[in-house]
Amino acid sequence: MAVRVAVPAHITGFFSVHRAGEPRESGSCGAGVTLADAVTVTVHRGGDGAVVVNDEAAEVQAVGNVLDVLDVDARIEAMVDVPIGAGFGVSGALALGTAVGANQLSDQRRSENELVGIAHAADVRAGTGLGDVVAQHRGGAPIRLSPGAPETARLDAIPDRRPVEWVTFGELSTEAIIGGETDAIDRAGGQALQGLLETPTLDQFMQEAGRFAASSGLLTDRVREVMDAVAAHGGQASMAMLGNTVFALGTDLSDAGYEPTRAQMAPTGVTVLTEDGAF
Amino acid sequence: MAVRVAVPAHITGFFSVHRAGEPRESGSCGAGVTLADAVTVTVHRGGDGAVVVNDEAAEVQAVGNVLDVLDVDARIEAMVDVPIGAGFGVSGALALGTAVGANQLSDQRRSENELVGIAHAADVRAGTGLGDVVAQHRGGAPIRLSPGAPETARLDAIPDRRPVEWVTFGELSTEAIIGGETDAIDRAGGQALQGLLETPTLDQFMQEAGRFAASSGLLTDRVREVMDAVAAHGGQASMAMLGNTVFALGTDLSDAGYEPTRAQMAPTGVTVLTEDGAF
């Protein structure tokens, strides 16, 4: 008995941090793009909470947190087709897929918002994400207007789709960055959100993300170098928050001579794919 | 130059009516299921607001209302693969597809929530729908907790998918029914929503929908007859609000000997498919 759930990846372009007493009320505002065909989570009945990612045993605290809250004995097998720890919201995707799959497998009868809230709080508690889960629930190009789980989060979106390209240079620790002082990030993130809401287009999103990367102090040397090269070709790249990863829309990275990986934006959020015997 | 947009159909299982001074604040609470591959709207630049549905000229007031608000000269061509006027939310789908497509075509740079709000108000003003648009924006099996456009509407969903079957016996006038006295509907709809929120599963949804159809006074003789036959086979059917249409999940209609049309639940809401030359 198993349930399979598809969850998009989420590249955050800019954000601001909002801490509250409760993890469900904590989170971030900001905007990003979600990527289709990125993460598939299969939740198997029984097992001891073991997590296997791309056929290797993994320690994913956000997933453990979800299983604890739901009090489900399950084994999680995930196929992840984007870099891990590099700004694609994989921990959030695994937590969200686990929540939706485990709910169905154990007949807990929780609503979609409840499950999104549980996964969001699990990611926040693990220190691995502040807004990926609600964005991955929505799909598309989500704008997070207020932080937290679905009962407090307000979202809007950019009503457009474009392919996404990226090149990654490796991991950054989300926990190390969002756990510390975030004044410069929050100021830059607030300005970027205001700019995007005035003109909610994908082009504006990329511009705001580029400005945020620079003024937040998060920009790495490798990403800056690629951004400059893409700009010299008339394009706009920016940094995936939080990873040592540079991303762009359309063919902006290819056009500048890089050999990026390419994905389609996800038209949808979390989706139950199959339940053995249910159809 | 054209933009093509896919919008799911929406079968409402139960609802309550909430009228406010402004169409954007008016709407309904309730729950339903959305259907994939149902409506495709192509918005062409120029033209005089003509609407062509399945290759025939059509008068769709909700679409005209959207084009008026956006002040766009466009021609709308729609392919609709579900019955029209029979409880599938086609007017809302056409309004939503037109709003998203016309925004992109005319570079108006409105956000997704704004466009959903414009389409919702257009459907309400036309008297053809009170909650289809926000449901079609979400996809899946949406639960409408509060009425209106996205700035006031709160939604949840049943985190599950199952195929949908239906048999239709023709049209009912939404305007005639929701324009009049709705006390019995509102009472039954409120009870059904409460019941579903206690147990947000697809089985519970069908049970609440069946109870609502009977106690709201909306049930037609033809639909009642099929519901009884399905119940005699251990299944659960109900009435698509508002059409002379009976629907069920899984194979409940087939199992009772009917020859229904079948569709998959939509995993996603409104989706921009292509923009000529944009990719």
Cβ-based contacts of A162 with chain B (< 8 Å): 278-279
For B179-237, the pLDDT digits (tens) are 778 999 999 999 999 999 999 999 999 999 999 999 999 999 999 999 999 999 999 99
**Radius of gyration in angstroms for the set of CA atoms belonging to chain A, rounded to a whole number:** 18
| Residue in A closest to B270 by C-alpha | A267
| Residue in B closest to A204 by C-alpha | B109
Structure tokens at A80: 């992840």
Cα separation, B116 vs A156, whole angstroms: 10
Mutation choice for A interface testing from B136, B143, B160, B199 by most A CBs within 10 A: B160
Rounded average pLDDT over A263-272: 82
B106 φ, ψ (degrees, to nearest 5): -100, 10
Kindly state whether B106 is in contact with chain A, defined as any CB-CB distance less than 8 angstroms: no
> Are B14 and B215 in contact, with CB atoms under 8 Å apart?
no
State CA A76 to chain mean position distance.
19
**How many Å is the maximal CA-CA distance in chain B?**
55
Q: What letter would DSSP give residue A120?
A: H
> Are B185 and B216 in contact, with CB atoms under 8 Å apart?
yes
* Residue among A104, A139, A159 minimizing CB distance to B268: A139
Mutation choice for B interface testing from A115, A161, A204 by most B CBs within 10 A: A161
For B70-91, the pLDDT digits (tens) are 999 999 999 999 999 899 999 9
Look at residues B180, B147, B146, B137 and name the one whose alpha carbon lies nearest to residue B266: B137
The pLDDT confidence band at residue B274, using thresholds 50, 70 and 90, is low
Tokens 């249409």 belong to B245
Per-residue pLDDT at A51 = 96
Mutation choice for B interface testing from A37, A43, A160, A274 by most B CBs within 10 A: A160
For A141-194, the pLDDT digits (tens) are 999 999 999 999 999 999 999 999 999 998 887 777 777 789 999 999 999 999
Structure tokens at A167: 């090149």
Cβ-based contacts of A157 with chain B (< 8 Å): 111-113
Structure tokens at A161: 């789709």
> Are A245 and A19 in contact, with CB atoms under 8 Å apart?
no
Structure tokens at A148: 């937290």
**ipTM surpasses 0.85:** yes
Kindly state whether A135 is in contact with chain B, defined as any CB-CB distance less than 8 angstroms: no
Q: What letter would DSSP give residue A163?
A: -
> Are B237 and B226 in contact, with CB atoms under 8 Å apart?
yes
Give the pTM: 0.94
Cβ-based contacts of B264 with chain A (< 8 Å): none
Structure tokens at A222: 């490798």
Per-residue pLDDT at A274 = 56
Strands A164-168 and A74-80: unpaired
Partners of residue B32 on adjacent β-strands = B12
Cα separation, A252 vs A248, whole angstroms: 6
* Residue among A112, A150, A157 minimizing CB distance to B158: A112
